[in-house]
A and B are shown apart, each in its own frame.
Chain A
């Protein structure tokens, strides 16, 4: 039976090449877009290198003041603020404090290269799992002594010194200051804001003084909880502490509330796009994504319904014949839905192949450096399920209409 459905499905698809093409194109393109997007979101929000302890970490980035009058003022956090307040949390075991990147210029053989620099404390090397091609991180001792030492990325090494040379102990000059190299790490994707840089320096050598008592500054913190279970506790502890932080005198006149949040890695993204100082935007993100996927999938579905309905007239003779020879309405509904599912699954398979190709192209094009996009098996599964679901959906109504055709009218229609 199924084999027969398959035969007729393939025959119909081949006969109506144009419609088949349009339908398959719609389905596979939609899936491709969704899966590439998912691969992207997945990679961006779940870095494995170097942030391999994300499930145990919380991130503090923005510091925001609001007033009852509706004024909002937001900026990064200062080194002082982070060490003083986040640093006093009982739950955390480690805390990396890293600055945002500043780009500086270096010249090699009269060629300018741009280096993204990041200032950090020693815990970054413990929280993130940077892979050292050679050398090692600078030590807490070197940081305390404000030594001019640096860890550089493979890319910067290649640009500055040339490929595959040993550089530990050599000096690199950026913005007219020389730093002694202690290690070289594998490149980090630029999109991983907190972890990415081409040159890491001790925070003690930063131009802006880390002792400045202003709350606003250039830094973010990564808090590491002892275990995944304690992340929530750490979050609550920080939340409660923030409510007790006194607002600095120079801010009191304009603002009455201070906001600082310890977010999961994922929330740092959703807060940026969908949230605000009070709301991590996670729920909104989910809602937005579901709506987006639904609307996006609706297009090929409506298209399929349309194609299917136009096919009814064309196939009415077949329906009449099948009924005359013993097909019940129910059997015909099954047949038609099966055909539709075959079509959508074909579309799904093409979509997966297209996705693999596109991801390969994106990965090898260097469009986003060091980002290695892969198909997520969970997303793949959901995509195929979505395919099935929409295949059913787009088949049910036309199939129902088809099966209701009166035999005599159906036979006459030819």
Chain B
């Protein structure tokens, strides 16, 4: 599903050069639930962003669904992310000016959908994460766990084949974290969604199919 080949990412500032990723090669199979672990600053987020085409590598090759991605235009990239990928972030990144329902509808806005369809799909997605009774709320009126569930609903509303989650439980207590984790596991099991998740929590990582460890930009396991 996702194939990374010799990925290298170098950040250059005026004074220093950071090698955030050092020739990473990784294959994620269709339907796999993969977790990435490693100490802070080792390059986990960088790797996930590159997989999600939010960032470009300095060197190397990314293929998603056997499709090369390095030649895509801004518009094609946007379309690609919209159709194939769903993101979940540690700090939720909901749009505070919009109600829960509008937040969840967001990915559908950039597709050919009618308002009615969008509403139906968003309501359905919110039901899956158990938030049917909060659709008119604004994000600031929700708890952290609820916000992350809204973010998950947003990530799954467009039925992407791949979900990329960067520490989705990082800001939550363990009970909340487990709930979120259960939603992701079910999604993987029932819908066959490929999931790549960055986590600091060994317990969470062990619930997934496979664990990749990074250290200083290199893959160690």
Interface residues of A (CB under 8 A from B): 1, 3-4, 7-8, 11-12, 15, 317-318, 320-331, 406-408, 411, 414
Contacts and interface: CB of A to CB of B under 8 A. Distances in A.
B27 interface: no
Contact of A320 (B93, B106, B107, B111): B93
Contacts of A3: 115
A106 to B, nearest CB: 69
Contact of A15 (B87, B94, B97, B107): B97
B201 interface: no
Contact of A327 (B54, B78, B83, B87): B78
A324 B87 contact: yes
A324 B83 CA distance: 11
Contacts of B142: none
B55 interface: yes
Interface in B64-120: 74-75, 77-79, 81-83, 86-87, 89, 91, 93-95, 97-98, 102, 105-107, 109-111, 115
B73 to A, nearest CB: 9
Contacts of B217: none
B42 to A, nearest CB: 17
B147 interface: no
Nearest to B118: A4
Contacts of B86: 325
B49 interface: yes
Contacts of A8: 95, 97-98
Given A8-B97, A8-B98, A325 B115 contact: no
Contacts of A11: 97-98
22 contacts: A11-B97, A12-B97, A318-B97, A320-B93, A321-B94, A321-B95, A321-B106, A322-B106, A324-B52, A324-B54, A325-B86, A325-B110, A326-B82, A326-B107, A326-B110, A326-B158, A328-B74, A328-B77, A328-B79, A406-B55, A407-B54, A414-B91
B81 A325 contact: yes
Contact of A325 (B49, B74, B82): B82
Interface residues of B, number: 31
Given A326-B110, A326-B111, A317 B82 contact: no
Contacts of B78: 323, 326-329, 331
B51 to A, nearest CB: 12
A1 B102 CA distance: 11
A331 B110 contact: yes
B154 interface: yes
Given A7-B102, A331-B110, A407-B54, A325 B87 contact: yes
B110 A330 contact: no
A3 B78 CA distance: 21
A135 B177 CA distance: 96
Contact of A1 (B79, B83, B95, B109): B109
Given A407-B54, A411-B93, A324 B81 contact: yes
A3 to B, nearest CB: 7
A84 B75 CA distance: 78
Nearest to B50: A408
A7 B101 CA distance: 12
Contacts of B106: 321-322, 325
A414 B97 CA distance: 15
Nearest to A403: B74
A322 B102 CA distance: 12
Contacts of B154: 325
Nearest to A15: B97
B49 A408 contact: yes
B110 A414 contact: no
Contact of B93 (A321, A326, A328, A406): A321
A133 to B, nearest CB: 62
Contacts of A4: 102, 105, 109
Contacts of A414: 91, 93
Contacts of A320: 93
Interface string B17-57: 00000000000000000000000000000000100101100
A318 B95 contact: yes
